[in-house]
Amino acid sequence: MRLPAALALLCCIFAAAAFAAPALAADSGATPKTAVKIAAAAAQPKAADATTITERVLALEKENLVLREDLGRARLDLKTSLNEQAKRHADEMARMQLKVDELNSQLTADREKQSERNRTLWIAIGVLTIGMLAAN
């Protein structure tokens, strides 16, 4: 039985508060419009805050400019180093190709010399064979 009595007491308290709140607000001179104006005025930055914010924005813009310049320099340095590296690579490849061509020409000359020796050897063997057959 106590639960309905407590519930009724709470309902009475809420009803009294609901009827008393507008009366208290009317006494203090605060209306919803003035409350909004007060909240908006409190939310607006003060003059000192505005100068601080302006200084901070200018400092950030300067920092952004410096960072963009640094980024531009870094990109230019990277592009220059990549171009230099590509040139070095091309030079090295040209040197290697010259060396390969030189070695190929040496190999071809060595093969020709070896084939000449083999031909001379077989001719000598043939002459000896003919000489041995003629002597018999």
Residue 53 near residue 45 (C-beta atoms within 8 A): yes
Q: Which percentage of the chain shows pLDDT scores above 90?
A: 59
In a domain, 103, yes or no: yes
Domain that holds residue 69: 47-136
Q: Is residue 36 part of a domain?
A: no
Tokens 């505005």 belong to 50
The model's confidence at residue 50, banded by pLDDT at 50, 70 and 90, is confident
Give a yes or no: residue 5 inside a domain.
no
pLDDT digits over 79-131, tens only? Answer: 999 999 999 999 999 999 999 999 999 999 999 999 999 999 999 999 999 99
Q: Which amino acid is at 54?
A: T
What distance lies between CA 42 and its chain's CA centroid? 43
Task: Copy the structure tokens of residue 43.
Answer: 């939310």
Domain count, the chain: 1
CB 94 within 8 A of CB 100: no
The answer to whether position 131 is within a domain reads: yes
> Confidence class of residue 43 from pLDDT cuts 50, 70 and 90?
low
Q: Is 99 helix (H, G, I), strand (E, B) or coil?
A: helix
Asked if residue 132 belongs to a domain, the reply is yes
Residue 120 lies in a domain: yes
Q: Is residue 69 part of a domain?
A: yes
Q: How far apart are the first and last CA of the chain?
A: 150
